Structure 1
Amino acid sequence: MELRHLRYFVKVASELHFGRAAEALGISQPPLSQQIRLLETELGVQLFERSSRKVRLTTAGRLFLEEAKATLAQADHAVRVTRRAATGEVGELSIGLSASTLYVEMVADAISTFHHQHPDVHLIFKELSIDAQRDAVENGGLDLGFVRSRAKPILPESVTSTCLITDRMYVAMRKGHRLSACAGPVDVAELAGEPMVHYPYDREGFLDDLRKLFGSIGHRPRLVQETHEMSTLLGLVSAGFGISILPGSLRRLEVDTLHYRELSGETALSSMWLLHRSEGASATALRFIDLLRPADQIATRAA
């Protein structure tokens, strides 16, 4: 049994006239009659009562009509869904995140716009390290990734990176800290020996950038506490447990007892990179990428 047999049957059942049904289907009447008889033979039931004057459905035919309509509707739905999936309008989009990704205005706006424009696409977010995102994008476990690193991430040929924005680094400290009296940029040398609360940043990414920053003055950052929750990190800094160095985008997390100061120097920078497959990216992923507009400017304290 093929879908065309069901379409033939439904048309005859709606017209209750083989001639009119054949004309509507764009075929001649004899082949239509033959196809209906073959359908009845396959089902082992009579679907129509035929006479020289009229055609009407049997009881079995009336029941079969409802099922045939439902089957055709489901088949049409499957075709529509498949076509929409091929153009990126439905399905899933898996996105890897770093701790500060959602606080980058460009990324947050793209997610909001995409969700509004494509409500039938299920967005899946996973906070992962650079290593994990790189591997997942390469093997298809992620469609897109967002990672933090001043330098361009080291990637296999199958994965492409695009720099979306470059932030200044900022120092978060408790109000009343010795460095909180000023609002201008602070030199990293003034932070030497300061206890620091830090997020478990990727060694290849932000944490490595942090170590290089202090290495430029012949010091190592004094990391006294690591926390996996950004809210806990800011809470500890707010409680005076230590300072923290963060990408500028995280200043959106405002706490009344915190004070932020920009870090001075050419190396006090942090970039957000978009990762995606070099070839074979899904139509859904490409639709999302189109919403991102890389900026060639450094986000300063005025941003």
Structure 2
Amino acid sequence: MELRQLRYFLKAKELLNFTEAAHALNISQSTLSQQIKQLEDQIRVPLFNRIGKRISLTEAGTLFAEYALQSVNRADDGLLLLEDLNNLKTGKINIGVTFALRNVLTKTLILFAQQYPKVKVCIVFGTSDELIEKLSAAELDLVLTFKEDSKDTQFRQELLFSSPLTLVAAERTGLASRRSISLEEITRLPLALPATGYSTTRFITEAFKRKGLHPDVSIEINDIPTLLAIVKTGSWHTILTKVSVVDQDLITIPIEGKKMSRSAMAIWLNDAYPKKAMLAFLKLLKAENNL
């Protein structure tokens, strides 16, 4: 049973004349008659009484008309919904973000919500591992995270920008005049780091290991705002990407060495249909951050 057959049937029911119905549908009468006959053959019951050139609905045709109309109306509603979806007048996007990109996200989120108020946006914060796991399970449409470029064909990845790794300290610690700092010097400082699971923590731990260094990490915490509050006391330091820190009471000092920067990536499932709202959000993100 095809939708067009239902439309043909309903027009013939309305006009009770195949010739007029065919003209209204802009098709030939033979096409209309053939399609209605195919519909009747499929449901195994006549829908019209054919008396000479006149037609009238059978009892089955009268009963069937109500359901045919519902089907056509539902299909039309669905097309309107898809049109609204395509024009960003409805829909929902689920975006996973690491805390390090919170500042980059916020401005874009506000602008997107203002431009497309009918599109619902759900933001989930987490570690890179947590977010990638949710993306793999199709619980997220897009992930924004610091992650090394992967050859995993399951994902499509787009580089957004790079941000240097920095030592984060309270302004009053006396390090404000430093232009850079080495890993060796950092080992002599008390550190509070993001907990295991944060990609930046894994990255910096590997950097220390390559040099055979053992940093003095006295606190590990999985809540970055609390971590920064601890650093503000001046008793501890931490290591984060520069873009993660905008607090005026904190300073960021670039860490010396090759490849001491992180790549911010936009990641989505390669085989999944990219939602238009997701692509619009990503485009706005890049435009607002000059990427």
TM-score category of the 2 structures, normalised to the smaller one: 0.5 to 0.7
Instruction: Name which of 145, 148, 155 aligns with 1:147.
Output: 145
- Distance in 2 between residues matched to 1:155 and 1:112, nearest whole Å: 33
- The 1:136/1:97 distance shift into structure 2, 3 A limit, reads same
Does the 8 Å CA contact 1:145/1:276 hold for their aligned counterparts? yes
Q: In 2, Cα distance between the equivalents of 1:154 and 1:31?
A: 56
Aligned residue number for residue 190 of structure 2: 195
Instruction: Provide the residue aligned with 2:126 in structure 1.
Output: 127
Partner of residue 172 from structure 2, selected from 172, 176, 200: 176
Q: 2:265 aligns to what?
A: 273
SS at match of 2:163: strand
> Partners of 1:276 and 1:213 in 2: how far apart?
28
Confirm whether residue 109 of structure 1 aligns to residue 108 of structure 2. Answer: yes
Paired with 1:211 and 1:103, the residues of 2 have a C-alpha distance of: 24
Alpha carbons of structure 1 residues 291 and 281: separation in structure 2 relative to 1, 3 Å: farther
- 1:275 Cα deviation (Å)? 3.2
Q: Which residue of 1 aligns with 2:244?
A: 250
Query: How far apart are 1:206 and its partner, in Å?
Result: 1.1
- After superposition, the Cα gap between the structure-2 partners of 1:128 and 1:209, relative to the gap in structure 1 and judged at 3 Å, is closer
Residue 265 of structure 1 aligns to a residue whose secondary structure is coil
Matches within 5 A, 1:84-99: 93-99=93-99
| CA drift at 1:234 | 1.9
1:275 maps to a residue whose letter is I
Query: After the TM superposition, which of the residue ranges 207-216 and 86-95 deviates more from structure 2?
Result: 86-95
Distance 1:217 1:33, change over 3 A: closer
Residue type of the alignment partner of 2:100: S
What is the CA–CA distance in structure 1 between the aligned matches of 2:56 and 2:136, rounded to whole Å?
Answer: 60
The answer to whether the Cα contact below 8 Å between 2:113 and 2:119 also exists between their aligned partners in 1 is no
Segments of structure 1 that go 5 or more residues without pairing to the other structure are none
TM-score, normalisation: structure 2: 0.67
Inter-partner Cα distance in structure 2 for 1:212 and 1:30: 72
Query: Counterparts of 1:124 and 1:67 in 2: how far apart (Å)?
Result: 41
Amino acid at match of 2:263: S
CA distance in 1, matches of 2:11, 2:206: 75
The 8 Å contact of residues 95 and 125 in structure 1, kept in 2 or not, is answered as: yes
Are 1:228 and 2:241 an aligned pair?
no
Q: Secondary structure at the match of 1:220?
A: coil
Q: How far apart are 1:196 and its partner, in Å?
A: 1.9
* 2:250 paired residue number: 259
- 1:159-207 per-position Cα deviation (integer Å, ceiling 9, x unaligned): 454432111233333343343xx3542423544332222222537x311
Aligned pair in 2 of structure 1 residues 110, 88: CA closer, same or farther (>3 Å)?
same
Q: Render the CA deviation track for 1:252-282: whole Å, top value 9, x for unaligned.
A: 3x26xx22132242444232133345x5352
Task: For 2:163, give the aligned amino acid.
Answer: D
The question of 1:164 aligning with 2:160 is answered yes
1:282 is aligned to 2:273: yes
Q: After superposition, give the CA deviation of every residue in 1:12-52 in whole Å (9 maximum; x if it has no partner).
A: 3544554422321223289649949x86xx6989889x999
Retained in 2: the 8 A contact 1:171–1:261?
Answer: yes
Percent same amino acid among aligned pairs?
20
User: Which letter does structure 1 place at the counterpart of 2:167?
Assistant: V
CA RMSD of aligned residues (A): 5.0
2:200 to 197, 206, 228: 206
Q: Deviations over 1:205-238 (max 9, x none)?
A: 3113323555577642222222222222222222
Distance 2:56 2:205 in 1: 84
SS at match of 1:242: coil
Aligned residues: 284
118-127 vs 160-169, greater mean Cα deviation: 118-127
How far 1:74 sits from its partner (Å)?
0.8
The whole-number CA distance in structure 1 between the counterparts of 2:30 and 2:159 is: 65
Unaligned runs of 5+ in 2: none
Give the structure with the larger helix fraction: 2
Deviations 1:117-166 (A, max 9, x none): 59557656352434x555555675654433325xx345434445443211
Tell me the amino acid that sits aligned with residue 72 of structure 1: V
